[in-house]
Amino acid sequence: MATPRHAFLMWIAQNDRMPTRVRLTSWGLGLSPNCCLCDSAPETRDHLLLRCEVSEQVWVLVLRRLGYTHSGFITWTSFIEWLSIKDSTAPLILKRLVSHATIYSIWVERNKRLHDGISTSPPTIYRLIDRHIRDTILGKHNSKKSFKNLMLSWLRND
């Protein structure tokens, strides 16, 4: 279900091996350790992917869309815990699909701002995630009947 590049990035993040500014600085590269998205806090994995004001705005939209009432995650550990728990709000496979896509989109946004000087607003990032989720579910539509239910779950709070 998950695309290989999303799964690979999740693996890198899980092992805290992303080349964030804080890690690059610790290698002796003379860079600012500040976040590429907000420039107001050190760019650690947890800050960049979960706590940054830009990332938080994306998570608020994504979590609301999935039907959750909480708006984000304080730590990577609490995020992974939430991601591994089956609950009645959203199918686990949809939670994972959407979360992986969100993490990937935030990392892509960070790199676009850093390397290309292009900024995309959180609502637009959210719309791109939405399109990706629809395309992914539609792409699997004929292989399993359960994907119809996934699409219904995703569209329920649209």
Sites of contact with Zn ion (CB under 5 A): 35, 37-38, 52
What's CA 70's distance to the chain center, in Å?
15
Shortest Å distance, C-beta 124 to Zn ion? 18
Using alpha carbons, select from 83, 78, 63 the residue that is nearest to residue 7. 83
Instruction: Pick between residue 53 and residue 87 the one whose CB is nearest to Zn ion.
Output: 53
Shortest Å distance, C-beta 151 to Zn ion? 33
Shortest Å distance, C-beta 19 to Zn ion? 16
Cα separation, 69 vs 135, in Å, equals 26
Instruction: Pick between residue 62 and residue 94 the one whose CB is nearest to Zn ion.
Output: 62
Shortest Å distance, C-beta 143 to Zn ion? 39
Instruction: Pick between residue 84 and residue 111 the one whose CB is nearest to Zn ion.
Output: 111
Q: Which residue has the tokens 């979360």?
A: 99
Backbone angles phi, psi at 157, to 5 degrees: -105, 15
Using alpha carbons, select from 50, 53, 27, 29 the residue that is nearest to residue 40. 53
CA atoms lying within 13 Å on the CB side of residue 152: 5
Instruction: Pick between residue 48 and residue 151 the one whose CB is nearest to Zn ion.
Output: 48
Shortest Å distance, C-beta 91 to Zn ion? 31
Instruction: Pick between residue 7 and residue 56 the one whose CB is nearest to Zn ion.
Output: 56
Q: What angle do CA 3, 75, 85 make, to 5 degrees?
A: 60
